[in-house]
Amino acid sequence: MFPKQRLRRLRKSDGMRRLVQESHLSLDDLVYPIFVGEGLTEPQTIQSMPGIQRIPPSMVQEEMKKIQADGISAVMLFGVPKTKDSLGSSAYDKDGVVQNAIRETRRSTPDMVIMADVCMCQYTDTGHCGIYRKGAVDNDATIRYLAEIAASYAKVGVDIVAPSAMMDGQVAAIRTRLDYEGYTDVAILAHAAKHHSSLYTPFRDAASCAPKCGDRSGYQMSYANSRQAMMEVAADITEGADIIMIKPAIPYLDLVAETRRRFDVPVAAYNVSGEYALVHAADAQGLINKDAVMLEMLGSIKRAGADIIVTYFAREVSRLLR
| Active site positions, annotated | 194, 247
Do 25 and 321 touch, CB atoms closer than 8 A?
A: yes
For 140-161, b/e burial (b = at least 16 CB within 10 A) is: eebbebbbbbbbbbbebebbbb
Q: Find the helix packing angle between 290-304 and 273-284, rounded to 10°.
A: 150
Distance, CA of 17 to CA of 136 (rounded, Å) = 53
Q: Find the helix packing angle between 97-108 and 139-155, rounded to 10°.
A: 30
Q: The dihedral of CA 282, 284, 289, 292: what is its sign?
A: positive
DSSP string, 12-38: SSHHHHHHT------GGGEEEEEEEET
Q: Find the helix packing angle between 226-239 and 253-262, rounded to 10°.
A: 50
| CA 289 from centroid of its chain's CA atoms | 25
